[in-house]
Amino acid sequence: TGAALAGLGKMQQGLYLVVFTVPISIILGYYLYFDFGILGVIYGQIIANIFVMIIATIYMRQLVSVNK
């Protein structure tokens, strides 16, 4: 996704995606750590990355359809 955004000249949108998703990842890892220990951090990363993949896919499809 990062290479595609760079190729389209849309680096600022990639930055917004990262700024939006990093706090979600940190918060999930922090709260799940208290319930599951170190495995909670891993679970938080998995959940956050699935969320990022979904958001990035939706965003890239919209970006490509606009640039056609």
Pick out the chain residues at pLDDT < 70: 1-14, 67-68
Q: What is the pLDDT of residue 38?
A: 92
**CA distances (Å), origin 41, targets 5, 16, 30, 33, 45:** 29, 23, 7, 5, 6
Q: What is the pLDDT of residue 15?
A: 75
Nearest Cα to 24, choosing from 49, 54, 58?
49
pTM for this structure?
0.68
d(C-alpha 4, C-alpha 14), whole Å: 10
